Structure 1
Amino acid sequence: MINPIYSPDSNRYDNGMKYRRCGRSGILLPEISLGLWHNFGDVNTFANSQAMAHYAFDQGITHFDLANNYGPSYGSAEETFGMIMKKSFLPYRDELFISTKAGHDMWPGPYGEWGSRKYLMNSLNQSLKRMNLDYVDIFYSHRYDPETPLEETLQTLVDIVRQGKAIYVGISKYPKEAAEFAYRYLAERDVHCLLYQGRYNMFNREPEEEGILQQAKENGTGFIAFSPLAQGLLTNRYLKGIPEDSRIAKGGFLKKEALTEEVLNKIKALNELATLRGQTLAEMALAWVLKDEMVTSVIIGASSVAQLDDNLKAIKNTTFTAEEIEKMNLIYNQK
């Protein structure tokens, strides 16, 4: 059977998605971006991955966030996206904002991770082939490398833009001091750092507490949050135990030790507050990240169209009363 040609929803920009200015730039990103860290690898069903990508774009999600080693296996999320690109998205390439990254483990040997020029250049070349792209919209240094001179890493980002392989560049998970150096180095070479990508959620407030959000704003850089649901902890999945199909049960990045009695009590208290707001805990957790105007977008993962649709409901209400914020802070600080 021949698959029908994909035709996106003609009302995709009128379905309720809101867009935010990305720092001091011409870029507007959707408040919700789709991340392909999980559920788009070669261990997943292509039809489901394709259905989620189609639905995301139909709902106005223009930003798809990838990295070289997303899968599993390594590279397979980019390959999956490359097939979706070829089958569905190619006519709409100019509407899409596609990112990839390099910095974590990708292939064996001393040049298969971190921040050397050799690794970053080779990785991006591989990523472009896997995704059937001539360029990405943004390429990130995925993590700070304490051993490679930072100038080498950053100059590589500059050269990647000048070669036309990326339109913009960004940094991910950089400590504050290294981020400040990066902002300055890139700006001096007329290659603006478009985005800082960091872990940010109600349980992990480091970008706020360490001044990363404010630093990005002062440098005209957008901030995009990943892991807004704390890998599923900030949902109702664990209120009654550990489901067999959950990330904790599967033994992935989220470990059983993370679900302590203290954390569970916080989840229950936050869930009660979400119910009072007329939201699910996941919706409220996403809305909490988006409450701050310094956040440009939040990256969500999804395992199904239904889950993606549920998460999109968060953008309907991203405002909180002072009383709600105070209650959340009390729950965050309780022992």
Structure 2
Amino acid sequence: MIQVGQRQLGASGIMVPSLGIGIWSWGDRQYWDYGQNYTREDISQAYKVCLDAGLNFFDTAEIYGSGMSERLLGDCMRADGRPIVIASKFAPLLLRFSARSLLTALDHSLERLGVERIDLYQIHWPSWRIGIQPLMDTLAEAVRSGKVRAVGVSNYSAVQMRMAYERLKRYEIPLASNQVHYSLLNRKPESNGVLAACRELNVALIAYSPLEQGLLTGKYRVTLANEQPITGSRRFIPAFSTAQRQKMEPLMETLTQIARVHDKTCGQVALNWLLEKDEHIIPIPGARNMRQAQENTGALGWRITPEEQKRLDTASELWL
């Protein structure tokens, strides 16, 4: 079996695998074409592969698939029976005027998941309407009620996460995590202070889109004779334009060279780069079928060298 390292969710006391699984795509028909490109059976198989490999940390949200992601995760958990660590998120939507709406949303997430407590409950993005302090006060109430083990934020700047951290400290509750976009094609957490703040405050950085929706796997390279066509919603994402993918070629070539040395894939190297960057980082690549789940597990049990890390840093400087 692959040796899966463990990492801490900040100072919460919760240990998770060094690699989690993001399940934004589960049940999402609008963006990911659930029911056409993949099915409930595909998701069940992906779930089993993940648990067989020791990857039992799943990140979902109330808005993923309009709640379907949480329902599918709950179904998989009950069918399989093995324990998992669940992270979900509250969405501070425009029609939610009060932080108290979080408690109602939390109850609905618990019902969809079919559990009595969520391990990590996060604020999905900052809300100017509600404000950081009221949201942290309500998160503390959720912890005290026993419905949540640990709390985190998502898409918060360094300044915003420090504010959240200080507010939670009033209740002697640590800020466990900040979930942000982080990959070789988006290294902003290194330059905007978020990674430094996570190190200083002992907050986990949960890295979403670590493979950039497939771009870092190499299957969309413009140099491929059998170049994968850009279909669906990806057609409207600037990063998938031909011009942007041409800019990525030096990075993709570096990934390819390192992958050959280790007998790995480009995507596995890209995930390993994140894992080796800092012990506070927990990447959460998606997996909506068996093949993707197996691909993710191949990022574990080995390490790129410090020299290879530097090569990738240099090749991805455009995205700092």
- TM range, normalised to the smaller chain? 0.7 to 0.9
Map 1:241-280 to 2 at 5 A.
243-244=228-229, 248-252=230-234, 255=237, 258-259=240-241, 260=244, 261-280=246-265
Give the Cα separation in 1 of the matches to 2:235 and 2:50.
Answer: 25
Q: Deviations over 1:160-185 (max 9, x none)?
A: 11111111100111011111011111
User: Does structure 2 retain, via aligned residues, the 8 Å contact 1:270–1:331?
Assistant: no
**Aligned AA (1:312):** T
User: Does structure 1 retain, via aligned residues, the 8 Å contact 2:2–2:300?
Assistant: no
SS in 1 for 2:219: coil
2:17 to 23, 27, 30: 30
Q: Does 1:19 align with 2:1?
A: no
Residues 198 and 254 from structure 1, CA distance in 2 versus in 1: closer, same or farther, beyond 3 angstroms? Answer: farther
Structure 1 gap ranges (5+): 1-13
Map 1:111-130 to 2 at 5 A.
111=96, 116-130=98-112
Aligned-residue offset at 1:142: 0.8
User: Does structure 1 retain, via aligned residues, the 8 Å contact 2:165–2:175?
Assistant: yes
Look up the match of 1:60: 54
SS in 1 for 2:119: strand
Q: Does 1:328 align with 2:320?
A: no
Give the Cα separation in 1 of the matches to 2:88 and 2:248.
Answer: 32
- With normalisation by structure 2, the TM-score equals 0.87
Identity of matched residues, %: 25
Give the Cα separation in 2 of the matches to 1:312 and 1:289.
Answer: 14
Residues 268 and 116 from structure 1, CA distance in 2 versus in 1: closer, same or farther, beyond 3 angstroms? Answer: farther
Give the Cα separation in 2 of the matches to 1:153 and 1:281.
Answer: 39
Aligned-residue offset at 1:205: 0.9
Give the Cα separation in 2 of the matches to 1:257 and 1:173.
Answer: 19
**Aligned AA (1:331):** A
User: Does structure 1 retain, via aligned residues, the 8 Å contact 2:21–2:285?
Assistant: yes
Residues 187 and 312 from structure 1, CA distance in 2 versus in 1: closer, same or farther, beyond 3 angstroms? Answer: same
Give the Cα separation in 1 of the matches to 2:235 and 2:197.
Answer: 29
**RMSD after superposition:** 2.3
User: Does structure 2 retain, via aligned residues, the 8 Å contact 1:138–1:170?
Assistant: yes
**Aligned AA (1:223):** L
**Aligned AA (2:118):** V
Aligned-residue offset at 1:158: 0.6
Q: Does 1:49 align with 2:43?
A: yes
SS in 2 for 1:224: strand
Residues 88 and 277 from structure 1, CA distance in 2 versus in 1: closer, same or farther, beyond 3 angstroms? Answer: closer
Aligned-residue offset at 1:233: 0.9
Look up the match of 2:184: 202
Q: Does 1:288 align with 2:266?
A: no
Give the Cα separation in 1 of the matches to 2:134 and 2:235.
Answer: 30
Give the Cα separation in 2 of the matches to 1:57 and 1:37.
Answer: 18
Look up the match of 2:84: 96
Aligned-residue offset at 1:136: 0.5
Q: Does 1:317 align with 2:307?
A: no
- With normalisation by structure 1, the TM-score equals 0.84
Q: Does 1:83 align with 2:72?
A: no
Aligned-residue offset at 1:63: 0.8
Residues 36 and 170 from structure 1, CA distance in 2 versus in 1: closer, same or farther, beyond 3 angstroms? Answer: same
Aligned-residue offset at 1:23: 2.8
**Aligned AA (1:102):** F
SS in 1 for 2:156: coil
Q: Deviations over 1:126-169 (max 9, x none)?
A: 11111111110110011111232221111111111111111110
Q: Deviations over 1:269-312 (max 9, x none)?
A: 43233323432110100000000233342101123212211221
**Aligned AA (2:130):** T
Aligned-residue offset at 1:316: 2.2
**Aligned AA (2:108):** Q
More relative contact order in 1 or in 2 (CA 8 Å, sep 6+)?
A: 2
Q: Does 1:237 align with 2:219?
A: yes
**More displaced 10-residue stretch of structure 1: 288-297 or 262-271:** 262-271
Aligned pair count reads 306
**Aligned AA (2:114):** N
